[in-house]
Amino acid sequence: MPRTLIQSRKLQLRAESLLPGGVDSPVRAFRAVGGEPPFVARAEGAYLWDVDGNRYLDMFGSWGPMILGHAFPPAVEAIRAAAGRSASFGASHAGEGDLAELVKQCFPSMERLRFTSSGTEACMSAVRLARGFTGRKFVVKFEGCYHGHSDAMLVKAGSGVATLGIPGSAGIPEETAMHTLALPFNDLGAVQAAFDAYPEQIACIIVEPVVGNAGTILPETGYLHGLRQLATKNGALLILDEVMTGFRLSLGGAQQVFGIKPDLTTMGKIIGGGLPCGAFGGRADVMEFLAPLGPVYQAGTLSGNPLAMAAGIATLEHLIAHQGEVYSGLERTSAAMADGVASLAQEAGIAITTTRVGSMFTWFFTDQPVKDFTTAATSDTAAFGRFHHAMMEAGVWLPPSQFEAMFISTAHGAAEVALLLEAARQAFVA
């Protein structure tokens, strides 16, 4: 029976009279896939319910944070208790050190760290710190990688490899964009060329170690180690943006999976258990360039917020205490989902390239192998849009863009695999 979206439609109309596009973040508007975004009334475990009472299997988990499922009871209890002691002090409290100790336990490379209220702030601050520590202006990033919406990170590739970046959004002056070099992912030659073109001028390389923001794209063998070596050889810092991959791919994120030691790491999403929280950290000698110790300014009214710390502590304590079953379960369920849908597509004669690391995966509607943004962009986004709509009708909520990753939780199990595969079977024959 087709879904009714009557109440959602009313809320959408009101939202559009108040918020640009009716949203607080563009991807939620469903512009990349078409159709109307349902308004969520509540969520629990692996499921979302909209305001018209329709239930959906959640395949994006608030874009990563909800790795233990929605309304995870220990996190809910921790937030409730913290709220009773006031939502914010604007002063030091024990929760900051409690969460920082748990982060350091999982990410030993983070000798010192600082909390922020978002992944954008974490990445923006880490880049400023790298520039301050090295005294250099240029930054290397990669096409298809997203590090939040700070000016220096919203930059597109110039005409040729290692040419000056151009603004990736209105409102960003060329003078700002020009110091960001946007290179192709999985191409060490392009990075070498950048260091040749700008000797001793590049402050850092920032990279999603497994790209999630172009859909899921894996680093080729040796690529991340190659970035590590090039950064060290040229006196630049290596920043791993683990906002998505941190605590997702393993308890120690991508740097644990691939055995890479960055100079700085940025975090978000899971670290706050769904509350606004990010962090950046790494080498103590670098982090001690931050105010109040050093000359690089960085601040935040709600940084280290007691509620976000409480939610993050409850989340990380569970991940640490149950890491064996958590990550083996996520691996089993994710493989069954990713490979199951790929098989159904193949049976239906539909070209799909599946990419996956742990519980982060994407079905690209292309017959090309996907190794960078250019190959990801060969995907048939209209076909993905039709698939997305059919899955919504069947009660499965995929991320509303071909160029996003899917994230599942420990609340997803065999029943959710079966639901997903039946919905996909119907969608492919529709």
Residue 192, number of CB atoms within 10 A of its CB? 15
- Of residues 47, 56, 146, 327, which has the active-site annotation? 146
Tell whether residue 209 is a contact of ligand KE4 (CB under 6 A).
no
Question: Which secondary-structure segment (H or E) carries 105?
Answer: helix 94-106
Catalytic site residue 58?
Answer: no
**Listed residue (42, 48, 51) closest to 4, CA to CA:** 51
* Least distance (Å) between residue 147 CB and ligand KE4: 5
Q: In the set 212, 226, 358, 400, which binds ligand KE4 (CB under 6 A)?
A: 212
- Of residues 47, 198, 223, 269, which has the active-site annotation? 269
* Least distance (Å) between residue 23 CB and ligand KE4: 9
Bridge partners (DSSP) of residue 213 are 215
Query: Which string of DSSP letters, residue by residue, matches 368-413?
Result: S---SHHHHTTS-HHHHHHHHHHHHHTTEE--SSTTS-EE--TT--
Interhelix angle 73-83/306-321, rounded to 10 degrees, is 150
Tell whether residue 402 is a contact of ligand KE4 (CB under 6 A).
no
Tell whether residue 63 is a contact of ligand KE4 (CB under 6 A).
yes
- Give the residue carrying structure tokens 């006031």: 86
Locate 20 and state its tokens: 């640009």
Smaller CB separation from ligand KE4, 236 or 277: 277
Smaller CB separation from ligand KE4, 109 or 234: 109
Tell whether residue 119 is a contact of ligand KE4 (CB under 6 A).
yes
Select the span of 222-230, 240-248, 386-394, 420-428 touching ligand KE4 (CB under 6 A).
240-248
Number of residues forming the site for ligand KE4 (CB under 6 A): 19
Tell whether residue 244 is a contact of ligand KE4 (CB under 6 A).
yes
Locate 156 and state its tokens: 């597109």
Tell whether residue 118 is a contact of ligand KE4 (CB under 6 A).
yes
- Of residues 50, 58, 187, 241, which has the active-site annotation? 241
Tell whether residue 208 is a contact of ligand KE4 (CB under 6 A).
yes
Tell whether residue 361 is a contact of ligand KE4 (CB under 6 A).
no
Q: Is 426 exposed, middle or buried (0-12, 13-18, 19+ CB in 10 A)?
A: middle
Select the span of 76-84, 140-148, 335-343, 415-423 touching ligand KE4 (CB under 6 A).
140-148
Sheet containing 278-282: which strands, arranged edge to edge? 112-116, 278-282, 264-267, 237-241, 202-207, 138-142, 180-183
The residue nearest ligand KE4 at its CB is: 119
CA distance 191 to 207: 12
Q: Which residues bind ligand KE4 (CB under 6 A)?
A: 25, 27, 63, 118-120, 123, 146-148, 208, 212-213, 241, 243-244, 268, 278, 404
- Which are the catalytic amino acids? 146, 241, 269
